[in-house]
Structure 1
């Protein structure tokens, strides 16, 4: 059987050859839909996609180690290296390495869906397949309360979600028009007025120095745009004009605010090296580690919304701002617009999240019965039927949904991804290692730091501190804890202690 040919997307570039730069590009809606879908991708997915894009032109040429952005890559690698025993179960580790996209059903309609994660499947235990007495799982390999694997796959019936919509008019933006993409990923609706105004602002009074180039791009180029959008201000020039000397752009300034103590705040011990004025590491319990790991399951669009321009991450924020400034009439109306602030997928969030504006999808209620009701007629099904729609189920019973984030597998007991109680070392560059059966004497000796140069502080992580850590983790390649928290420690020690 012949393999399906990879879709290609026409792109017309307006290039200033003297300056070796792409000024603007024109594209159809199919490519704009894919660019806007970047915002729905969780950070863990972005790291995986960029890392797997083996034909990275910059690192092929320079033979340098692959870089994503900030310390997030270290966090992702830490999860890869942690043993399954650190987590409640092996599912939690997979959740962090391959987080679910809350806009999955929309992104599956794209001409190229960057996220290659498997679609949601539903499983029950064959022994306990008795409605409200049994569990339903959306994760492969979950254990039922009876101890057996939930390996009986169920088909979801009557799901009247985005799956049932006609996407012939587009996924996020409407078809039938061209769109303008500038070198910094600012996107505008195509019009002579927009084109003229933007070209004048860029210093072009006419087309004398500009040349048009037409090309077709595919998955590789789109993944390159994704990566460059996170580290550069000129991703189109970098990729299509082979600019190897681009300036990496990511900056962050810690946000200041009143210190508010809440019972939900996370306590954290940090060890400071006084002579270097930096945090060496943090001694952290499960809540703080789960908070950091939740970065991997959070969509980049939601992160940009929370940080609200308080940092610079390449030019991804320009794409985000374009979505917010677009005329609503250019979006597909019946779907709303999840792009400015996409939610964390259901069951993929941290239960004590200090970033109060990062929202997790509401967990749906699933119903089980031995048949369905269609046109007022009941049809029996020997294997049983599940649905989110109670009205289509014969004798419906609400089901218990398995949640991997606890030792009991129930939503009511869900905490996070790692077991409790647990203790970890989080290094300044966000490498995470479990502190299990580790001699404190050996640990300090191996650090090879004068003991009188060390000072321990206790800090309280609330919303502002959490925002600062998030911003620093995305922009600092080696000192996320120092850049995010050290400003709290400039007071005398006894004032810094919570």
Structure 2
């Protein structure tokens, strides 16, 4: 009985802290690759997942807001299903897929309880589309024949090889140094001496060791503090009250020649300014703009840091990403390259029509067959089988993917997540409200703002403006103003 209870306990990871008690701060910590893997996995988490995890972990405390992300996420939660092409689109945004989910499932400690391994479905008719078999990776999608695609299919040929304690992103048995600002280095006497001297410590007289076993709650607290603080280790493990937020971003101007260099689509946006406050009060937006905002939630944190080109400070996360770039290649699980440096949105969770260079991973090709081939012998399977390798299955036929981001489930017509045509109000803090059966007179009365204090402007959102908005959404409570106000030009007053 005791063994049964122990087996259900969550894993704990050892962490050694070197603490300066006078200053009440962690000078450096030391841990194995298992702990570093979890730290580096922060970069793979989509912003929607981070928002959900951080909010969920603060159930009994004041929720720490990440710029305007909480407002955007809660607007999504409160939106009716009919705002989207289908119920799957809303669920995709609430629970976005991690592009490294297969790797992250091997972590010693699972951060996201809601993450489920990918599954594969066909309808009971095993329909074809354009000659290809029709496949869905989303449960309860509706096939074009009208039936639910709820027949789960087995994926053949995927490696089930165990990790053998070799680590996920870094080598598990190697020891690492973690500094208070989340800079990570390979642990060696030379690195330790050099770093301690740089920090002003000539000996260990002022330093004491503290041994911890860290669980999921502490890791999620560390994730939250890493987004807003330059001393997350001290904040979490010494309970020093937390440091002042360290999130900075300054909008940059569009290059003069960007208009003919940038081939990404632009988005038109109508904003209403409150002149006396010099703020953007709200925007009237169509589906393209709202899709772009909602796509923030499916974007991995590491992709955001890459896009912002280091002109953007998000707590200690920049240091964490730099550590991946600067880490000794001998410490990496895959010395030829780590996926952490080229993170993209998970397949089918991205947005085609948007102004930035952010891409989603290519959707793998799948094949359907009547059986499997082992040692040149065919073994029939009653319900058939699917595989990413057509040489492993009998009578392979190509498969077409169901894509929720469209009106008919086809990739060719995929636009985004919300229905077209549609119109929304997007507030300065990124709360999103569908304009359905809304009286404009009642709307303006509720604003309780003098009408002569309001002024409308039409903006074109291209790559620079889109990135400015993304940066502002993570660092400010007034994303529209912080990200776009610089674009506004004073209007000439009409003569009386």
| TM-score grouping bracket, smaller chain normalisation | over 0.9
1:166 CA displacement:
4.2
Deviations 1:314-363 (A, max 9, x none): 1111101100111222101277301123111000001113111x220101
Unaligned runs of 5+ in 1: 60-64
Between 1:335-344 and 1:417-426, the stretch displaced more is: 335-344
Query: Is the Cα–Cα contact under 8 Å of residues 264 and 355 in structure 2 kept in the other structure?
Result: no
- Counterpart CA distance in 2 for 1:334 and 1:205 is 35
Query: Is the Cα–Cα contact under 8 Å of residues 228 and 245 in structure 2 kept in the other structure?
Result: yes
- Counterpart CA distance in 1 for 2:111 and 2:163 is 21
- Counterpart CA distance in 1 for 2:254 and 2:429 is 24
Question: Could you say which residue in structure 2 is the equivalent of 1:181?
Answer: 178
1:130 CA displacement:
5.7
- Counterpart CA distance in 1 for 2:53 and 2:345 is 18
Q: Does 1:45 align with 2:45?
A: no
1:4 CA displacement:
2.1
Question: Could you say which residue in structure 1 is the equivalent of 2:157?
Answer: 158
Query: Is the Cα–Cα contact under 8 Å of residues 167 and 173 in structure 2 kept in the other structure?
Result: no
1:305 CA displacement:
0.9
Q: How does 1:169-248 map to 2 (within 5 A)?
A: 169-248=166-245
- When residues 224 and 143 of structure 1 are mapped into structure 2, their CA distance, relative to the original with a 3 A threshold, is same
- When residues 13 and 166 of structure 1 are mapped into structure 2, their CA distance, relative to the original with a 3 A threshold, is closer
1:255 CA displacement:
1.4
Aligned to 1:168, which of 146, 165, 172? 165
Question: Secondary structure of the equivalent of 1:342?
Answer: coil
Aligned to 2:32, which of 15, 19, 28? 28
Question: Could you say which residue in structure 2 is the equivalent of 1:62?
Answer: none
Question: Could you say which residue in structure 2 is the equivalent of 1:149?
Answer: 148
- Counterpart CA distance in 2 for 1:41 and 1:33 is 13
- Counterpart CA distance in 2 for 1:438 and 1:428 is 19
1:493 CA displacement:
4.0
1:129 CA displacement:
4.6
CA RMSD of aligned residues (A): 1.7
Question: Could you say which residue in structure 2 is the equivalent of 1:252?
Answer: 249
Query: Is the Cα–Cα contact under 8 Å of residues 167 and 333 in structure 2 kept in the other structure?
Result: yes
1:394 CA displacement:
1.3
The alignment of Structure 1 onto Structure 2 pairs a total of residues equal to: 482
- When residues 353 and 291 of structure 1 are mapped into structure 2, their CA distance, relative to the original with a 3 A threshold, is same
1:426 CA displacement:
0.5
Query: Is the Cα–Cα contact under 8 Å of residues 254 and 465 in structure 2 kept in the other structure?
Result: no
Q: Does 1:9 align with 2:13?
A: yes
Question: Secondary structure of the equivalent of 1:339?
Answer: helix
1:112 CA displacement:
0.6
Deviations 1:86-128 (A, max 9, x none): 0000001110110001101101111012123111111110023
Question: Could you say which residue in structure 2 is the equivalent of 1:120?
Answer: 118
Deviations 1:136-187 (A, max 9, x none): 1000110000111011110111135xx5474431111113321000011111
Unaligned runs of 5+ in 2: none
Question: Could you say which residue in structure 1 is the equivalent of 2:90?
Answer: 93
